Each structure stands twice: as C-alpha cells, then as structure tokens.
Amino acid sequence: MNGIPKKTGRFVWHPVGAVQIGDYAVSVGEGRLDLSDLALGPGARVRFNASVSVGQLTVIVPATARVEVHGYARLGEVKIGHRVEDGTGVRFDRVLEPEVTGTSDAPTIELHVRAGIGDVEVRPAA
C-alpha cells in the first residue's frame, strides 16, 4: 500500500556507543532520542540527525557535553534548554554548554533536528 507513513507510533532510542550514531526519524507520532548515556571521550565530536514529520521529538543530551543544535520546524514549538520559540518556519542554531564544571575539553555533539508539524525539545539530562 502506498501513501502510508513508514514509521508511525512511539519510538525511543538510547544509543550508548559510536556504532549507533546516525539518523533517527519518525513519520507520525513521538520520538525520544536519549543520549544521556552516550560514551564520549574528551574532545570527541559526533553528529546525530533526528526528525519528525508530524508529532513530537524530544532529545535528551548529556550534561557533560557541549551540544550544537541546528534545525528547523515548519510549524510548532521549539524548546532548547530554557528558551522557547513557536510559530511557522522556526529556524534555530544554539549551543548548550556543558552543565558540569571542569570540562574544558568537553566532547561535542552536533545535533541536527527537523520537524514538519510538531514540537521539538532538546534538554540536558537531569
């Protein structure tokens, strides 16, 4: 059958190693990408792509990493850290610095997120 979205429903991804670095996508529904246990050495740099066509996307990042967030939401709300924007055509480029002190050579996560119609949240792990 054509025209039916391929990835619908609720998805939770919890990568912990470099083998699982890559693209995470939901067509219709909810996606949660939990990077809080990602094993990264000092000075390491990795890239993740996450998207939702219609629905909600939440990304949890480690408090020990610098996170460069780049993305776009066609229609919806974007919350990165404590900053919220909503509306149409929301573009964002923000950096979340490590919450843990003494991380001068903190690893960097380059995070590219996209939403069609929906909400995006990027927040540090508790």
pLDDT at 19: 67
* CA dist., res. 59 & res. 43, Å (int): 21
Distance CA 10, CA 84 (A): 23
The answer to the question of residue 65 being in a domain is yes
Question: Quick one: pLDDT at residue 102?
Answer: 64
Asked if the structure places residue 9 within a domain, the reply is no
For residue 76, tell me if it sits in a domain: yes
Report the predicted TM-score, pTM, of the whole model to 2 decimal places. Answer: 0.89
Instruction: Examine residue 13 and state whether it is found in any structural domain, yes or no.
Output: no
In a domain, 110, yes or no: yes
At 82, the pLDDT band (50, 70, 90 cuts) reads confident
Number of compact structural domains in the chain: 1
**Amino acid identity at 103:** T
| DSSP-derived 3-state class of residue 63 | coil
> By residue range, what is the domain housing residue 105?
20-124
In a domain, 5, yes or no: no
Q: Is the pLDDT of residue 107 over 60?
A: yes
Does the residue 6 lie in any domain?
no
Is 51 among the domain residues?
yes
